[in-house]
């Protein structure tokens, strides 16, 4: 599938923003975060800023952004519509959480819980947009939902480490928690890659053309004289050609380097932690952007069977 930059930015920025909102919602409701207005202000600005940037980026993918509101009416049958509704509804408790935290120095428990719940539901709906697509075998998998949730938590954990290095709650647990969630997110992603590499659609050129009863089907002539929309959007081949090399690069930037840097910032007390954590967060986000590019670029639609692909 063609990896559209607007969708990559949307899923990475919004996913990381919702990951951070989930973390501060859960930890705030549990009383593990300081009821400090500065901490709350920075947390909510980064979280809602990332979410809003992602949502605005997604509108660039629409041919007519002014009609986006119509998609919200199809929530009974469309995961895309449910995602839109959930993302908008989540703003209400998130803004209430921000108001209590910033202006009253209180973490309102109900608002924190609802914010975390809304963030989880929105990321889940985003994942199901892809997991529900049967023509794309790599996505139509039980691993797609946990992979999206895991990467959202990994991105949110990186942002959380950035906040806590400046406004640290007592103890060293924030860096440890961030390192743990980062590890969990990439471990799930590794599992997704291991499964997706071997997943193939049940469809074949024989079943796609309905000519399987006559034997092996092969193309006599290409059904096109030049590249068309389907080939551009659904037969993107560059990602699959360089998948293994790009995966290793994504893991190095998104997981290994940030993990080492976070642990160094936590353990090497003689060094200033803030610059180390900033580099860790930037490298982590670059790695997650590469991971998301691969998510789209490696996927193969069954329509490619009509263009000579042996499998999809």
3-state helix, strand, coil in the chain (%, to 5): 75, 0, 25
60-69 CB contacts, 8 Å cutoff, 24+ apart: 60/6, 61/4, 61/6, 61/7, 61/10
What percent of the chain shows pLDDT beyond 90? 59
Report if residue 297 sits inside a domain.
yes
Report if residue 266 sits inside a domain.
yes
Q: How many domains does the chain have?
A: 1
According to the model, what pLDDT value does residue 186 have?
A: 96
Report if residue 194 sits inside a domain.
yes
For residue 288, give Cα distances in angstroms to 109, 162, 170, 226, 250.
Answer: 31, 16, 29, 34, 7
pLDDT above 70 for 74? yes
At 102, phi and psi to the nearest 5? Answer: -80, -45
Burial of residue 231, with CB atoms counted within 10 A of its CB: 0-12 exposed, 13-18 middle, 19 or more buried: middle
Burial of residue 77, with CB atoms counted within 10 A of its CB: 0-12 exposed, 13-18 middle, 19 or more buried: exposed
Nearest to 15 by CA among 142, 144, 120: 120
237-240 CB contacts, 8 Å cutoff, 24+ apart: 238/297, 239/3, 239/293, 239/294, 239/296, 239/297, 239/298, 240/297, 240/298, 240/300
Report if residue 312 sits inside a domain.
no
pLDDT band per the 50, 70, 90 thresholds, residue 169: low
Report if residue 248 sits inside a domain.
yes
What percent of the chain shows pLDDT beyond 70? 94
Domain CATH code at residue 16:
1.20.1630.10
Q: 195, 143 in Cβ contact below 8 A? A: yes
Report if residue 186 sits inside a domain.
yes
Q: How far, in Å, CA of 300 to CA of 312, rounded? A: 6
Q: How far, in Å, CA of 139 to CA of 123, rounded? A: 15
Nearest to 125 by CA among 162, 90, 159, 160: 90
Report if residue 251 sits inside a domain.
yes
- pLDDT, mean of residues 121-131: 96
Q: How far, in Å, CA of 199 to CA of 208, rounded? A: 18
At 59, phi and psi to the nearest 5? Answer: -70, -20
Sign of the CA dihedral 94, 96, 100, 106?
Answer: negative
Q: How far, in Å, CA of 292 to CA of 77, rounded? A: 25
- pLDDT, mean of residues 10-24: 96
Report if residue 161 sits inside a domain.
yes
pLDDT above 90 for 167? no
pLDDT band per the 50, 70, 90 thresholds, residue 127: very high
Provide the residue range defining the domain that includes 150.
Answer: 5-307
What pTM value is reported for the model? 0.90
pLDDT tens-digit profile of 199-245?
887 788 888 778 888 888 877 777 677 777 777 777 666 666 778 89
Sign of the CA dihedral 24, 95, 89, 93?
Answer: positive
């Amino acid at each position: 599938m063609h990896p559209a930059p607007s969708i990559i930015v949307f899923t990475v920025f919004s996913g990381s923003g919702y990951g951070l909102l989930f973390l501060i919602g859960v930890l705030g409701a549990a009383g593990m975060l300081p009821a400090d207005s500065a901490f709350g202000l920075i947390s909510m600005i980064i979280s809602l800023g990332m979410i809003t940037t992602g949502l605005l980026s997604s509108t660039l993918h629409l041919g007519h952004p002014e009609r986006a509101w119509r998609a919200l009416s199809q929530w009974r049958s469309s995961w895309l519509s449910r995602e839109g509704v959930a993302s908008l509804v989540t703003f209400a408790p998130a803004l209430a959480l921000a108001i209590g935290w910033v202006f009253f120095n209180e973490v309102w428990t109900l608002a924190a819980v609802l914010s975390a719940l809304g963030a989880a539901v929105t990321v889940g709906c985003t994942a199901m947009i892809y997991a529900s697509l049967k023509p794309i075998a790599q996505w139509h998998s039980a691993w797609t939902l946990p992979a999206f949730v895991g990467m959202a938590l990994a991105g949110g954990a990186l942002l959380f480490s950035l906040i806590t290095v400046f406004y640290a709650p007592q103890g060293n647990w924030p860096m440890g928690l961030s390192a743990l969630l980062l590890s969990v997110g990439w471990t799930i992603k590794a599992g997704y890659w291991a499964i997706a590499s071997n997943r193939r659609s049940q469809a074949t050129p024989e079943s796609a053309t309905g000519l399987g009863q006559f034997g092996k089907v092969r193309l006599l002539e290409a059904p096109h004289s030049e590249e068309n929309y389907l080939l551009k959007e659904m037969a993107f081949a560059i990602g699959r050609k360089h998948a293994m090399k790009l995966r290793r690069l994504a893991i190095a930037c998104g997981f290994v380097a940030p993990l080492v840097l976070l642990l160094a910032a936590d353990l090497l007390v003689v060094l200033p932690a803030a610059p180390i954590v900033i580099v860790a967060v930037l490298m982590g986000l670059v790695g997650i952007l590469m991971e998301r590019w691969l998510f789209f670029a490696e996927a193969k639609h069954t329509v490619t069977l009509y263009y000579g692909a042996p499998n999809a």
